[in-house]
Amino acid sequence: MAEKDLGYRRVQCTGRGSYIISLPKEWVEDIGLNRGSEIAFNIQPDNTLSLVPRKIAEKEGKADAAKPKEYVINVDPKEAPESALRMIRALYAIGADIIRIHFKNIKDAPKYKNDTKNFVRDTFLGAEIIDETPDEITLQILIKHSEFGIEKAIRRMAIVALAANRDAIAYLTDRSTSLFESVLHARNDVNRLGLYIVRQLKYGIERNLYRELGFRTPKEFLLYRIAVNDIENIGENALNIVNNIGAFQKLIDDETLFLKDPIDEEVYGQLTSYFSQAQQLYEDAVKAVFKRDYKDAEKLISKREAMVALENELIMLISSKKMDPNVTAILRLIFDSTRRIVDYGRNMAELTLNRTVEELCSTLTYK
């Protein structure tokens, strides 16, 4: 149909805080709309609004988003079980709503099913097993995108990852099982949140829903994907620290290694102080992102540069102490992990610059 000008319509207020606009009668009759007909509203990149009646969307195949995306996986016992788990993870990330996992060999099904259930519980946010037969289980993702937004998920993800590193450092002097498990569970929670955010980002990209997800431009999808990757690394580094400390403790328990001196208090004190500053910088960087505060982000980048002198002093202090080489190696591991948190904080601050620089420059005028 050729483009047709139907004139302008005045926006009216109902008196209850809602705005309405009447539809052209000619268009309504041509389309065949009736009382109760549904129309989809889609915001375009240039801020214009397109109206698509449901029956036209269904005819053109544009209403598929309203239907649950269902997939089937056939698990072959001849293949490595990890292959099926990776496939389930990938389907979750791309936005699957229902995943049916069918086991070809019913004799091996109980073990595969148990492994799959544990994997779902430890890996996915908002996923539940809704049906089960002797040779099949059905997984459904129940959480809705509007219930837990990207901003909340990233805030929570950052808090958990930093807490994991704090517990990892404490594990150096307090080798309690509870601290180790705390770091392990936190790392798993970080990865679960990260995968959920990736799922949301892909959902938004497919449907051009950047505004609904809290973004001002589609370019912010990529920026947030980078942020998620950095936070996942923070959580992974914490687990790496406690695993190395655990291996070190095992050498002592097995009397393979004899440690004469305890952890140097001066080094430990400065290391924990450095971590506190790194944590504060990262937390401030996360706040700057969501406040869209360009100036605060710039200050944080300058603060990161100023911390180089402190890092050099800490390296010199560790090197000057006559400690067991194994202890020195673990202290350097903690130091390197903490320094990466500082660098990730800088990355987060630069994310703020990248998402706000156009807004800032567009408001400047010559005087």
Altogether, the residues listed in the chain come to a count of: 367
Which residue has 């799922």 as its token pair? 199
Residue type, 96: A
Strand 136-141 vs strand 12-13: parallel, antiparallel, or unpaired? unpaired
Task: Note the CATH number of domain 150-362.
Answer: 1.20.58.220
Task: Note the CATH number of domain 68-141.
Answer: 3.30.110.20
For 267-302, the pLDDT digits (tens) are 999 999 999 999 999 999 999 998 889 999 999 999
Please tell me the pTM assigned to this model: 0.75
What stretches in the chain show pLDDT beneath 50? Answer: 62-63, 65
| Annotated domain spans of the chain | 12-64, 68-141, 150-362
For 319-367, the pLDDT digits (tens) are 898 888 888 888 999 999 999 999 999 999 998 998 888 777 765 555 5
Alpha carbons 365 and 367: distance in angstroms, whole number = 6
